[in-house]
Amino acid sequence: MRVTILGATGGIGRLLVSGALEAGHEVTAFVRSPEKVSQKSPRLRVIGGDLFDVPQMAAAVRESEVVISGFGPSTLRETTLRRDFGHAVVQAMRVAGVRRLIHVTSAFLFSDAGAMVALFGGTLFHNVVKDHVRSEAEMMQPDLEWTMVRPPRLVNQTAKGRIREVAGHLPKGGTVISRADVASFMLKEAAAPRYVRQIVGISD
């Protein structure tokens, strides 16, 4: 499978690149800083560019079968970076003629994820939630085959391989998941789609 990974130098993005290569896929990593991509493989093409530049991104994703995005700025301040990225990736995919998009957002966007999720989503992570909402709205277009993946708190642990998944909701009692398991789920969804044009909550 021909895969383009956006946000390939982030916590989830690095795992997406490694996992895709291990699975035998042809991988394009479109990144702002190519020197930060540490993986080496004859099946890995690293392209430097601006994630908000539509022509550059369109050139990177062209001929891909799926675009997988781990893009997510770490700032808690008010921003439109996620929204602007969502707009750019949709336009780039349209230009390139690519339809399949898998993107990771946050379980904070679920209205029924529990009191603690609602508390933190409405206070400390209020700006993050607001920008994720706008980003998803940009990406969930009827002409694209999108999947929005919403995990809870992310941790840097080895993959457990026991991922719970529920369409439209956070799995009951879900509070945490490793970045490795998120990347694994996204790659599995790319290879065998089950949640096309759906939002899916995942947790350990």
Residues 128-164: tens digit of each pLDDT: 889 999 999 999 999 999 999 999 999 999 998 899 9
Q: H-type helices in 53-203, by residue range?
A: 54-61, 81-96, 115-122, 126-139, 179-191
CA distance 69 to 139: 11
Give me the pLDDT at residue 111, please. Answer: 82
Give me the pLDDT at residue 139, please. Answer: 98
Give me the pLDDT at residue 144, please. Answer: 98
Give me the pLDDT at residue 86, please. Answer: 97
Exposure class string for 165-180: b at 16+ Cβ within 10 A, else e:
bbeebbbeebeebbbb
Helices 81-96 and 54-61, packing angle to 10 deg: 50
| Domains observed in the chain | 2-203 (3.40.50.720)
Cα→Cα distances 101→21, 24, 70, 176, Å: 18, 19, 11, 24
Q: H-type helices in 33-114, by residue range?
A: 54-61, 81-96
CA distance 88 to 203: 29
Give me the pLDDT at residue 127, please. Answer: 85
Pairing of strands 44-48, 164-167: unpaired
Give me the pLDDT at residue 119, please. Answer: 67
Q: Which portions of the chain are predicted below pLDDT 50?
A: none
CA distance 124 to 145: 32
Task: Give the residue from 173, 165, 124 showing the smallest Cα distance to 148.
Answer: 165
CA distance 194 to 43: 26
